[in-house]
Amino acid sequence: MAQGSLRRGTEPSGWRGSTRILSRRFLAPAVFELELERPAALGFRPGQRLRLRREGCERDYSIASSPGEDGLRLLIRLFPGGKMTSNLAASAPGTVIEGSGPHGYFLFDAAGKTPVFVAAGTGIAPFRSMAASGAAGFVLLHGARTAAELFYRGFLEARAARYVGCLTRARPPLPAGTRPGRVTDALREDLAPGAYDFYLCGRSEMIRDALQVIDARFPQARVFTEPFS
């Protein structure tokens, strides 16, 4: 398995300064989409992230929108008591936020093997950006508690060769396009033998478990990771 980053070359145009919240929309009780005004100086590639700063606290968020869209969309899970997420969840449109970006090298290689996107929860954000920028024909495994947390499902399913929502808390009968269990179960049981590039994004526990399965089943695969914690 080869792990690493793609195209560590030219950095898109960098930005450090202030922007403001255009809108905040809850997609689930503890997950909201934040739209920020896009600073003119900010150029980025799908898969990259922003670093937000508020009241002495700095946190990274993957950009869910594509470079071709006007605003900047972030998909954020609210942690009760979390310094940044509690603050953002309570911030009204118009609130000014400090930040910088783009950061990171979790980039899509369109010339690679069949892409398998594996996301846990809000880890779906960079894949939405990649799909909105033209990535298609990928296999997508999205882990969530219930079907209501399969964010951007319709958008992604329309561009995927195969879409599997992996639900840990849903009761049967499960909706079409979903299965019970974790993304690691889908990697172990649902993915046919083949040559793949894996892209993993979300909690580090998910990434660790997924890497074990990939090592065992697809030892030649390239793997790109974006751990959230």
User: Which residues in this chain contact ligand FAD in the complex, by CB under 6 A?
Assistant: 49, 57, 59-62, 75-77, 79, 81-85, 122, 125, 203, 226, 228-229
Shortest CA distance to 60 belongs to which of 42, 79, 78, 84? 84
Percent of residues in the chain assigned helix, strand, coil, to nearest 5: 20, 40, 40
Least distance (Å) between residue 60 CB and ligand FAD: 4
CA distance 178 to 164: 5
Smaller CB distance to ligand FAD: residue 12 or 194? Answer: 12
Smaller CB distance to ligand FAD: residue 60 or 109? Answer: 60
Instruction: Give the CA radius of gyration of the chain.
Output: 17
CA distance 67 to 92: 24
Smaller CB distance to ligand FAD: residue 57 or 136? Answer: 57
Residue 90 tokens read as: 């309570």
CA distance 48 to 112: 19
Least distance (Å) between residue 84 CB and ligand FAD: 3
Least distance (Å) between residue 30 CB and ligand FAD: 10
Least distance (Å) between residue 58 CB and ligand FAD: 9
Smaller CB distance to ligand FAD: residue 50 or 213? Answer: 50
Least distance (Å) between residue 61 CB and ligand FAD: 4
Helices (H), 123-189: 125-132, 153-157, 183-189
Tokens 């690679």, located at residue: 112
Smaller CB distance to ligand FAD: residue 191 or 206? Answer: 206
When CB distances to ligand FAD are compared, the closest residue is: 82
